[in-house]
Amino acid sequence: MVLGLYNYWIVVLLMMIGFYIVIAHGNLIKKLVGLTIFQTSVFIFYISMGNVDSGSAPILAEGVSRYSNPLPHVLILTAIVVGIATTALGLALAVRIKEAYGSIEEDEIQIQDQLTEDNSKC
């Protein structure tokens, strides 16, 4: 009977893949991709919670009595568009960082920061 929980496990798997990309990769764009995967896993989580066996899409029609829960759909619908807007903001930041530092690798940026800090101390 535990197998009835498989949707959550898929979500957890996807979420952890996204999480892994975010913490293990230094490239800022790759990190953003990881965040997108993480985000999508949350979307899938909500949508799969709203799903009802033999339910229909929540558009009222004759002869249908059982609908999936519309509330998660609404939340996720807006979340997707908000997500792309924030991702675009992140990409814009990455572009500016590339212009300022000449790199979008985390460790290289850190080295440069350290260098300027040391220079200012001397």
Partner 1 sequence: MIAIAIVRTKDLLAVVMLTGIYGLLSASFFVVLDAVDVAFTEASVGAGISGLLMLAAISMTGRAEAPKRHKPLLALLVVLITGGMLIYGTLDMPYFGSFDAPVHQHVAPRYINDSMQEVGVPNIVTSVLASYRAFDTLGEVAVIFTAGIGVLSLLALPQRRKPYLIDESSKEQMYQQHIVLRVISKALIPFILLFALYVQFHGDFGPGGGFQAGVIFAAAIILYAMLFGLDNAKRIFSLSLFQLLAAIGLLLYASVGVVSLFNGGNFLDYNVLADDPIAGQHLGILLIELGVGCTVASVMIIIFFNFAGRREAQQNGKGT
Q: Between 66 and 121, whose beta carbon lies closer to partner 1? A: 66
Taking CB under 8 A as the criterion, which residues in 12-51 touch partner 1? 12-21, 23-30, 32-33, 36-37, 40, 43-44, 47-51
Q: Tokens in use for 83?
A: 């997500």
In terms of CB distance, is 93 or 115 closer to partner 1?
Answer: 93
Q: Among candidates 32, 50, 45, which has minimal Cα distance to 89?
A: 32
Q: Which listed residue (9, 113, 114, 115) binds partner 1 by CB under 8 A?
A: 9
Verify binding: residue 122, partner 1, rule CB under 8 A.
no
- Distance (Å, rounded) from C-alpha 74 to C-alpha 12? 22
CA atoms within 13 A on the CB side of 104: 17
Cβ of residue 115: shortest distance to partner 1, in angstroms?
18
Q: Which is nearer to partner 1, 12 or 115 (CB)?
A: 12
Whether residue 26 contacts residue 107, with contact meaning beta carbons closer than 8 Å, is answered with yes
